[in-house]
Structure 1
């Protein structure tokens, strides 16, 4: 079954709040998939774009742990832009969704939890190939 933009959902990250500040926790079943890789993007110029691909098998969960950025989602038929700007809320990206990240604020950090390790074969890097596979 092909995933759609509606399958990209915002999830709350559990947090513990007290007078010393907030603590956000991702462990166990916080995410709907077991994660095998965690990486982050930082020092991205405001006019730069990241992403520009889809995954065949991997799911991802993106969080703006600092600052903000936009995620442009594309399922081949519809597009939607979501702004991430809260460290206790993240965007779940299922397989087969084209994504582009942009409009990074100064000091923005994008934290990504991925369901798999890096495999170049899992990436669809050409938009035309994405459209041919998913439409």
Structure 2
């Protein structure tokens, strides 16, 4: 298994602690890119997985807003699986990294903060194409 820092980076999300509940803040300095899209995954059925692709140029920052899920990261030569389960800690996935999300707990919500808008040509959706892209 790889050192997670080689293929993904954990980033603490600034939070304000209050007896009435915590407040987490994502601003322009929280992630190392300009935020162009935000989306979230929820109601993922038991046994289902998401992801299963890599991005050519796009970076993403994943946060478990509720519950937990696993993220498999693959740079073409090393793999690492991590669990996201804290709303104040996110995972930065750089471009060129294959990712698969699975093992979603009941009620899990995955927030994705992205460096670009949706562009199909930025996706590598077949694992063999991903591996071939790493060889060239």
Q: Normalization by structure 1: what TM-score?
A: 0.95
Are residues 1:82 and 2:100 paired?
Answer: no
Q: Structure 2 vs 1, CA of residues 60 and 21 (structure 1 numbering), >3 Å: closer, same or farther?
A: same
| 8 A Cα contact 1:55 1:124, kept in partner | yes
Instruction: Give 1:1-135 correspondences, 5 Å limit.
Output: 6-135=6-135
Hey, what's the Cα distance between the residues in 1 that align with 2:103 and 2:30?
28
How many residue pairs match? The answer is 132
Q: Mind listing any 5+ residue stretches in structure 1 that lack a counterpart? A: none
Contact preservation (8 Å) 1:5, 1:80: no
Q: Contact between 1:16 and 1:23, CA under 8 Å: does it hold in 2?
A: yes
| Post-superposition CA distance 1:52-98 (Å, at most 9, x none) | 00000000000000000000011111111000000000000000000
Deviation at 1:5, TM superposition (A): 6.2
- CA root-mean-square deviation: 1.1
Structure 2, gaps ≥5 residues long: none
DSSP-derived class of the 1:128 partner: helix
